Structure 1
Amino acid sequence: MAEAHQAVAFQFTISPEGVDLRLSHAALRHVYLAGLRSWKKKITRLRNSLLTSVFPASPASWFVMAVAILASQASRFDPSMGLIDKIKEHLPASPYLVEPARAGLSALAFTSLLWLGLVGTMRGALRALLCYQGWMDEEHGHTSHSTRLWLALVKIFAGRKPMLYSYQTSLPRLPVPAIKDTMQRYLESVRPLLADDQFQRMAALARDFERSLGPRLQWYLTLKSWWAANYVSDWWEEYVYLRGRGPLMVNSNYYAMDFLYVTPTPIQAARAGNVTHALLLYRRLLNREEIKPLLIQGTLPMCSAQYERMFNTTRIPGVETDSLQHRWDSQHVAVFHAGRFFRVGLYWGGRLLHPRELQAQFQCILDDPTPPAPGEETLAALTAGPREPWAQARRAYFGSGQNQESLRAVEQAAFFITLDTTEQGLLGPEPGRALDRYAKALLHGQCHDRWFDKSFTLIVFRNGKMGINAEHSWADAPIIGHLWEYTLATDVFQLGYRVDGHCKGEMDPGIPPPQKLQWEIPEECQQVIQGSLRVARGLADDVDFHTFAFKEFGKGLIKKCRTSPDGFIQLAIQLAHYRDKGKFCLTYEAAMTRLFREGRTETVRSCSIESCNFVRAMMDPTQSVPQRLALFRAAAAKHQALYRRAMTGAGVDRHLFCLYVVSKYLGVDSPFLREVLSEPWGLSTSQTPIQQLELFDLQNHPNYISCGGGFGPVDDNGYGVSYIIIGEDLITFHVSCKLSSPETDAHQFGANIRAALLDLRALFTLPTK
């Protein structure tokens, strides 16, 4: 066991002549370097905390101000108008403080007070400026003079060179909408979905709620909004995610794909080495807070709180509710291959392992012939099945001994890696169907070869293709998307590969090999594992996927239509759904609320009165193109208004959700809230935004594009649709549904989306390219 020998820093023997102490200088050096790295991280964290606490000012500005005030004192000019002398009078008498020293200390004390006052004023002014949301109502490209002035003020007070968390304390709190407004917006959203008698019934329930129980619940919610950083996010995390008792796989976790047309290397271990190193470089930037905060229009900051738990985080199962375990650091990753678990260290000699060294580690695992222990091969199925059996098994069989140590190695890893034994990508005679298999492999795999509780699992297939599966409770998809964009770009454009496909660089042959984790899984636990596996396989086998690239046109042409690309696609999805089912349905589109502190998401109810009018016109052969185009304009404008409303905290669903939570705490029942929160989302949609397009050169490297990612269907008889707009000429879609539903067909719906997009383009007299 090489790793055991490397861990011994000294040996000693006791003999009649005394104690013979033999020190291992090499081992002591590694101990010293590991400690040095740990202290550097602590110092960096302390420094970053100081810089963030005084942003938008900087400690250097205090020094400049102190020099200026001391210089003015020396020239017998008092900028404090007597305050420095007042401070000097209150300094304690001491024989060691001569008059010049007392004057200097007084000046420095005044400098500190003045500086802190200016810092507080700047932060307060920035917070007040960021509360303004009127800029979102202006037409793109037509910014008013008042908005330009406002943006200029934001730039003045926003400081220079912000770190990742610099703006956190300056972000406004998410406002609580008025009950009356939410009732009105809710009724407006369901009007096209209900018959007249059904709508009158819901309107009566809403009016009764608004007059009776609503104000009481609203009072508690308003109180929480004053006290908490965000009145939604903690309850959303707990009740929507952590208290869910169903499987995470398919129902909650989501995935992201590799490059669509390119596989940088066919060598599995090399791809894993490069990508793991790229992920760890991102973690280093994250720890140092050197990732730039996301800014809208290059000026308006968005909340960065979700980044904090990206690495070293695991969802721990509980009988009634799960919890998130986050560690400040982790020095290893957990790796699964062919039914075995391994621990791979990430540092050697106080430094991060190079890609070539990580490749060697992964190759050792691939070459290891050791068979899995009984029950080990399907152990991860516990994380794929229902939460309660996993929680009970964890408590009963993994609380002591080597099972506890091995589970700790998995749960405390930086992230989880699966070296998959299958090949994926655009393979075989039917590349379209191959993409569908690729999506299913990332979403659920074999149901026992991903650790679905980890913040994310990196999956590297045998042919070098890869992807990622992410747990949802700790953050939303744009956070993983930011990580994934950086990883893909770094893997290819910065690290690269040798001509033979191996990682670049040299390696230290003294690095200890991976450590195989040991398990002793009793028969009773194996039965629990098999029960979870049966549930997970039933769920996975029922998921139908259709992933396809729409190449006829993209964002470039849609912009020429003078409309929002997202609104264009959403209206196409509405038209496709009506052609698919012959009816409208409640539609969920995710919008970010990260303009507010600790904001996560809000729902855009994309099926509106205006969108339904447009779809009916498209289905009516008597309607002319100008009539359809006018209805399209009205529907697109309505969608933009709904999206802006959601982003600014004036949506419907999070407010109603929190009112429902308050009602449960108070032990009161609301027929209105109970009915609203039980309504099925027949369409669940989400756009995956590209946040770092500057990392990719689509002009010179057009094939280096990701296919985006997707998720499972939310409703048993509905569709899940994820899409990503890539460059100017490509949109990719991920459509999911249940095979068991007689109402859905992912491939048919995908064909309807293609046709709907082309029909919308035909409304405009524009070229295809």
Structure 2
Amino acid sequence: MGSLTFLFSFQLMIYNAIPMCSSQYERLFNTCRLPGTETDTIQHIKDSKHIVVYHKGCYYKVWLYYDGRLLKPREIEQQMQWILDDKSEPQPGEEKLAALTAGDRVPWAKARQTYFARGKNKQSLDAVEKAAFFVTLDDTAQGYREEDPVTSMDTYAKALLHGKCYDRWFDKSFTLVVFKNAKMGLNTEHSWADAPIVGHLWENVMSSDCLELGYTEDGHCKGEAISGIPMPTRLQWEIPEECQEVIERSLAVARPLAEDVDFHSFPFDTFGKGLMKKTKTSPDAFVQLALQLAHYRDMGKFCLTYEASMTRLFREGRTETVRSCTVQSCKFVRAMDDPTESIEKKRALFKAAADNHQHLYRLAMTGSGIDRHLFCLYVVSKYLAVESPFLKEVLAEPWRLSTSQTPQQHIDLNKNPEMESSGGGFGPVADDGYGVSYIIVGDNLINFHVSSKFSCPETNSHRFGKNIKQALCDIRNLFSLGKNSTK
């Protein structure tokens, strides 16, 4: 799949954005995280000519090349249909094997060394770990349902986030999940790259599928499939009972964690960046201040807040942290719920907080943030075996509000409004906190993903979602802008 990597990198260059380091795009395919007893490693191979598909507990190796060329869409459809029609049963231990990638890392690393270092188990594991990517043909139906818009989107998101905890290979760069009603999505391992890389991949998938490839009237991929192309092969496993016990223990660790995730995915279509720009404010600053207001109303207090910022100006740049909860944002939030404060004062505090947020964002983008410098000090302190009370305290502070924006990168939504993306989400990083991901989709829509833990009595993702919607509207009202305002 190496040729596709260049395609994605080139396309990013031609849009009005600073390009990201192409090393992240290179790792998009043919990449797997490998467990270790001390530390994990990232394995990336130059090229791969196959994928691995999981369906009803069975693993299949599917070659993507034939006679020196990539398979055509109709030929890939033929391969998938063969898998769907296969009636073979999972081998002992095969069905839940991927639970090893969902549980604790050390047991997985030890099991990998003990049971997958030789013979057919090693060959099959190599096929998985060296595949271009992993595919799950899910046996559940997911997606937005008009008659049940709230629950259907929440369930859809949770299915992509963790599934059954054994039907995604969580170590692969990404798992492409295709549900039985033809809805799709991605589950992504985060260490090899950042969310915009995967978001850009998904935009390419949507645009090429709809605008270039298409389907026949009876639902098949266009084109013809030639005869003689080898069909998929079943991966062979010999998983002893003691390894099956390790698999079950990993599943017992992962399943409660997955079930504890309170995930709420929802669209906010009252307004979007079109109206926010009329306030002469950055849309991201507008949303971040709304999140501060929503969180204060939700929890009755402020908290350390993480917003991811790309350091794409630098070679191999990844992220820096924007600490969105500031003195200025707190003043604005308190003023918003103070009936004695005037609209003019609240508006001025909003502008001051938004300007400060943009300043912090620029510092983070240009390498002048603080958190990666703190991390470097931590690495040096570990290397020198120096105990630092300051680092111990500051790095132990929990991020009770962790946020991230997924950018819309190149699809022209005015020409193709049906290609609106719901973006992606993640779980909370603190047991008593929230994770919030959002994508500002065009001028009239923002899609949110809010996560927390059911086990925390103080948090509630649906309640927080309502507070976010109200906070956005309250800030809009400061500027006397209606939903369809032309001011």
Q: Answer whether TM exceeds 0.5 for this pair.
A: yes
After TM superposition, what 4+ stretches of structure 1 lie above 3 angstroms from structure 2? 287-290, 292-298
After superposition, the Cα gap between the structure-2 partners of 1:372 and 1:297, relative to the gap in structure 1 and judged at 3 Å, is closer
Q: Which consecutive unaligned segments of at least 5 residues does structure 2 have?
A: none
- Give the match's secondary structure for 2:176: strand
Out of 120, 129, 149, the residue aligned to residue 431 of structure 1 is 149
Q: Which moved more, 1:396-405 or 1:723-732?
A: 396-405
Structure 1 residue 303, shift from structure 2 partner: 2.6
Counterparts of 2:409 and 2:23, CA distance in 1: 17
Equivalences for residues 410-429 of structure 1 within 5 A: 410-427=128-145, 429=147
Partner of 2:453: 738
Partner of 2:407: 689
Whether the 8 Å CA contact 1:567–1:640 is kept in 2: the answer is yes
- Higher-Rg member (1/2): 1
Counterparts of 2:186 and 2:34, CA distance in 1: 20
Counterparts of 1:533 and 1:369, CA distance in 2: 25
Partner of 1:633: 351
Counterparts of 1:494 and 1:295, CA distance in 2: 19
Out of 18, 24, 34, the residue aligned to residue 306 of structure 1 is 24
Partner amino acid for 1:529? Answer: I
Partner of 1:705: 420
After superposition, the Cα gap between the structure-2 partners of 1:315 and 1:692, relative to the gap in structure 1 and judged at 3 Å, is same
Partner of 2:469: 754
Structure 1 residue 294, shift from structure 2 partner: 4.1
Structure 1 residue 557, shift from structure 2 partner: 0.5
Whether the 8 Å CA contact 1:477–1:688 is kept in 2: the answer is yes
TM-score w.r.t. the length of structure 2 is: 0.97
Counterparts of 2:376 and 2:9, CA distance in 1: 35
Q: Does 2:235 align with 1:517?
A: yes
Counterparts of 1:383 and 1:729, CA distance in 2: 39
Structure 1 residue 561, shift from structure 2 partner: 0.9
Out of 329, 332, 335, the residue aligned to residue 617 of structure 1 is 335
Q: Does 2:104 align with 1:389?
A: no
Partner of 1:371: 89
Partner of 1:401: 119
1:506-526 C-alpha deviation (Å, 9 max, x unpaired): 001211110011111100000
Partner of 2:3: 284
Partner of 1:560: 278
1:553-583 C-alpha deviation (Å, 9 max, x unpaired): 0000111111000000000000000000000
Out of 579, 586, 594, the residue aligned to residue 304 of structure 2 is 586
Partner of 2:189: 471
Structure 1 residue 704, shift from structure 2 partner: 2.2
Counterparts of 2:444 and 2:150, CA distance in 1: 19
- Give the match's secondary structure for 1:616: helix
Structure 1 residue 284, shift from structure 2 partner: 2.1
Partner of 1:487: 205
Out of 421, 430, 450, the residue aligned to residue 168 of structure 2 is 450
Structure 1 residue 596, shift from structure 2 partner: 1.1
Structure 1 residue 341, shift from structure 2 partner: 0.2
Partner amino acid for 2:199? Answer: G
Structure 1 residue 308, shift from structure 2 partner: 1.6
Partner amino acid for 2:438? Answer: Y
Counterparts of 1:659 and 1:700, CA distance in 2: 48
Counterparts of 1:508 and 1:450, CA distance in 2: 31
Counterparts of 2:14 and 2:311, CA distance in 1: 13
TM-score w.r.t. the length of structure 1 is: 0.62
Counterparts of 2:188 and 2:416, CA distance in 1: 28
Equivalences for residues 489-508 of structure 1 within 5 A: 489-508=207-226
- Give the match's secondary structure for 2:51: strand
After superposition, the Cα gap between the structure-2 partners of 1:485 and 1:296, relative to the gap in structure 1 and judged at 3 Å, is closer
Counterparts of 2:238 and 2:15, CA distance in 1: 52
Whether the 8 Å CA contact 2:266–2:449 is kept in 1: the answer is yes
After superposition, the Cα gap between the structure-2 partners of 1:422 and 1:611, relative to the gap in structure 1 and judged at 3 Å, is same
Q: Does 2:436 align with 1:721?
A: yes
Whether the 8 Å CA contact 2:8–2:25 is kept in 1: the answer is no
Equivalences for residues 637-648 of structure 1 within 5 A: 637-648=355-366
Partner of 1:37: none
- Give the match's secondary structure for 1:703: helix
Counterparts of 1:289 and 1:334, CA distance in 2: 22
Q: Does 2:79 align with 1:361?
A: yes
Partner of 1:576: 294
Partner of 1:538: 256
Partner of 2:381: 663
Structure 1 residue 301, shift from structure 2 partner: 4.8
Partner of 2:55: 337
Partner of 1:271: none
Counterparts of 2:204 and 2:359, CA distance in 1: 32
Equivalences for residues 312-351 of structure 1 within 5 A: 312-351=30-69
Q: Which consecutive unaligned segments of at least 5 residues does structure 1 have?
A: 1-279
After superposition, the Cα gap between the structure-2 partners of 1:691 and 1:704, relative to the gap in structure 1 and judged at 3 Å, is closer
After superposition, the Cα gap between the structure-2 partners of 1:295 and 1:289, relative to the gap in structure 1 and judged at 3 Å, is closer
Whether the 8 Å CA contact 1:481–1:688 is kept in 2: the answer is yes
After superposition, the Cα gap between the structure-2 partners of 1:427 and 1:292, relative to the gap in structure 1 and judged at 3 Å, is closer
Partner of 2:317: 599
After superposition, the Cα gap between the structure-2 partners of 1:302 and 1:323, relative to the gap in structure 1 and judged at 3 Å, is closer
Aligned residues: 484
Partner of 1:184: none
Partner of 1:677: 395
Whether the 8 Å CA contact 2:15–2:410 is kept in 1: the answer is no
Partner amino acid for 2:343? Answer: V
Whether the 8 Å CA contact 2:8–2:201 is kept in 1: the answer is no
After superposition, the Cα gap between the structure-2 partners of 1:481 and 1:288, relative to the gap in structure 1 and judged at 3 Å, is closer
Structure 1 residue 700, shift from structure 2 partner: 4.4
Q: Does 2:483 align with 1:764?
A: no
- Give the match's secondary structure for 1:762: helix
Partner amino acid for 1:707? Answer: S
Counterparts of 1:758 and 1:334, CA distance in 2: 46
Whether the 8 Å CA contact 1:285–1:291 is kept in 2: the answer is no
Structure 1 residue 487, shift from structure 2 partner: 1.1
After superposition, the Cα gap between the structure-2 partners of 1:293 and 1:706, relative to the gap in structure 1 and judged at 3 Å, is closer
Counterparts of 1:302 and 1:541, CA distance in 2: 35
Whether the 8 Å CA contact 1:295–1:301 is kept in 2: the answer is no
Structure 1 residue 531, shift from structure 2 partner: 0.1
Counterparts of 1:318 and 1:668, CA distance in 2: 25
